[in-house]
């Protein structure tokens, strides 16, 4: 930790140095022209009380030298992580497209959509069985029945599937069915849920909270990883700003930022990011060019009849057109978009 002194008086500096040493750290003084800085060196685990020294009158600021996300950060893990998700891997040379409806509405609906997205070249099926709705009176999802329909659609098409888990107690059940656990934007800081997902043996797809900074999002990934689950995929799905033309403001700059700060793969969700189906394709293409490792796109056979998020859902034929354009961009960027790469590429992290 670095302690920046507000005072240059010898007695004030000595006082803080004694405090630092009393907490079990070595104090190194750096006396600059305008400021005196104390570098506190030592193992912080179990005694992270240095931050409180900021309460002292003669201390201006206390901040860490290293990032707090030790496992999710690039500082201690320089190689890109490739997450192994059954028949496909996420990260590295592999580009993934997760596609499907916002909600699983019926057996027929998910089977029809799964076949359509598979035909168009999607690599992973998506669909919500537990839905986090703003209103308790809106459709809440088919729950376990929805998981069964997803499993059937996944087996019929050979596509692994991702679905949202909303509460810690749902993790064991959802893990029995799903290949990847999605943690939604509204639950990004549900620490109990993050820890439960961290104890599961499934990769965790962590959506960015709609009012969360990148630092907070990476700290949430750290919660999952600290429980022993290294397979985390970050997902940018738009944040709240003053703009009202789009449902959210899709922060595509999160791609290079996450790539710089972390070794984890990052996927862009232009459906929730914009909320408008006509904006989905341009933002999806922008995400590929920005270096994202994949896309999550909502597709519905009849968007006008969807139980949720119809306005941002693509019809299967539009999704198929988009896939053609995406494939070209993916290949131009030296990556591949294949349905089943198998374990050959998947250098799993678990």
Contact 234, 74 (CB under 8 A): no
Q: Alpha-carbon distance 78 to 55, whole Å?
A: 35
From ligand PEP, Mn ion, none, which one binds at residue 120 (CB under 5 to 8 Å depending on kind)? none
| Chain residue at closest Cβ approach to Mn ion | 102
From ligand PEP, Mn ion, none, which one binds at residue 293 (CB under 5 to 8 Å depending on kind)? none
The burial of 345, by beta-carbon neighbours within 10 Å (0-12 exposed, 13-18 middle, 19 or more buried), is given as: middle
Minimum CB separation of residue 102 from ligand PEP in Å reads 5
Minimum CB separation of residue 286 from Mn ion in Å reads 20
CB atoms within 10 A of CB 73: 18
Q: Alpha-carbon distance 144 to 39, whole Å?
A: 54
Nearer to ligand PEP, 25 or 217 (CB): 217
Minimum CB separation of residue 192 from ligand PEP in Å reads 17
Minimum CB separation of residue 326 from ligand PEP in Å reads 19
From Mn ion, ligand PEP, none, which one binds at residue 342 (CB under 5 to 8 Å depending on kind)? none
- The residue ranges that bind Mn ion (CB under 5 A) are 102, 309
Strand-pair category, 83-85 with 88-90: antiparallel
Nearer to Mn ion, 121 or 141 (CB): 141
Nearer to ligand PEP, 13 or 264 (CB): 264
Nearer to Mn ion, 166 or 330 (CB): 166
Which runs of E-coded beta strand occur in the chain? 2-5, 26-31, 36-41, 59-63, 83-85, 88-90, 96-100, 124-126, 161-164, 180-183, 204-207, 232-236, 266-268, 294-298
Nearer to ligand PEP, 185 or 255 (CB): 185
Q: Alpha-carbon distance 333 to 263, whole Å?
A: 19
Which runs of E-coded beta strand occur in 42-105? 59-63, 83-85, 88-90, 96-100
From Mn ion, ligand PEP, none, which one binds at residue 184 (CB under 5 to 8 Å depending on kind)? ligand PEP
Minimum CB separation of residue 309 from Mn ion in Å reads 4
- The residue ranges that bind ligand PEP (CB under 6 A) are 102, 128, 132, 184-186, 207, 237, 272
Integer CA distances (angstroms), 14 to 11, 19, 60, 286, 307, in order: 5, 9, 15, 54, 66
From ligand PEP, Mn ion, none, which one binds at residue 118 (CB under 5 to 8 Å depending on kind)? none
Nearer to ligand PEP, 102 or 314 (CB): 102
Nearer to ligand PEP, 17 or 204 (CB): 204
Q: Alpha-carbon distance 189 to 207, whole Å?
A: 10
Minimum CB separation of residue 247 from Mn ion in Å reads 10
From Mn ion, ligand PEP, none, which one binds at residue 207 (CB under 5 to 8 Å depending on kind)? ligand PEP
Minimum CB separation of residue 46 from ligand PEP in Å reads 34
| Chain residue at closest Cβ approach to ligand PEP | 184
Contact 261, 255 (CB under 8 A): no
Q: Alpha-carbon distance 194 to 221, whole Å?
A: 8
């Amino acid at each position: 930790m670095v302690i920046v002194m507000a005072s240059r008086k010898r007695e004030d500096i000595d006082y803080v140095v004694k405090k630092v040493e009393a907490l079990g750290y070595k104090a190194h003084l750096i006396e600059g022209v305008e400021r005196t800085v104390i570098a506190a060196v030592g193992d912080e685990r179990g005694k992270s009380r240095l931050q409180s020294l900021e309460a002292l009158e003669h201390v201006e600021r206390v901040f860490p030298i290293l990032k707090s996300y030790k496992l999710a950060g690039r500082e201690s893990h320089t190689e890109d992580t490739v997450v192994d998700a059954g028949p496909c891997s996420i990260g590295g040379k592999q580009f993934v497209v997760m596609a499907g409806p916002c909600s699983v509405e019926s057996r027929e609906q998910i089977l029809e959509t799964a076949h359509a997205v598979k035909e168009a070249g999607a690599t992973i099926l998506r669909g919500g069985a537990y839905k986090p709705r703003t209103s308790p009176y809106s459709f809440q999802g088919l729950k376990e029945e929805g998981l069964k329909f997803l499993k059937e659609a996944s087996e019929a098409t050979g596509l692994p599937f991702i679905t949202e888990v909303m509460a810690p107690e749902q993790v064991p059940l959802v893990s029995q069915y799903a290949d990847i656990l999605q943690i939604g934007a509204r639950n990004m800081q549900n620490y109990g849920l993050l820890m439960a997902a961290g104890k599961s043996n499934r990769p965790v797809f962590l959506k960015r909270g709609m009012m969360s900074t990148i630092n907070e999002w990476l700290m949430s990934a750290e919660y999952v990883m600290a429980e022993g689950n290294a397979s985390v995929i970050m997902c940018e799905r738009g944040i709240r700003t003053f703009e009202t033309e789009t449902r959210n403001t899709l922060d595509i700059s999160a791609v290079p930022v996450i790539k710089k700060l972390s070794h984890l793969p990052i996927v862009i969700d232009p459906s929730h990011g914009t909320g408008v189906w006509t904006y989905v394709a341009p933002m999806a293409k922008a995400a590929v060019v920005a270096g994202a490792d994949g896309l999550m796109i909502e597709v519905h056979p009849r968007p006008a009849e969807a139980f949720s998020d119809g306005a941002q859902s693509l019809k299967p034929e539009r999704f198929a057109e988009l896939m053609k354009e995406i494939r070209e961009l993916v290949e131009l960027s030296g990556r591949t978009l294949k349905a089943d790469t198998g374990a050959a590429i998947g250098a799993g992290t678990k």
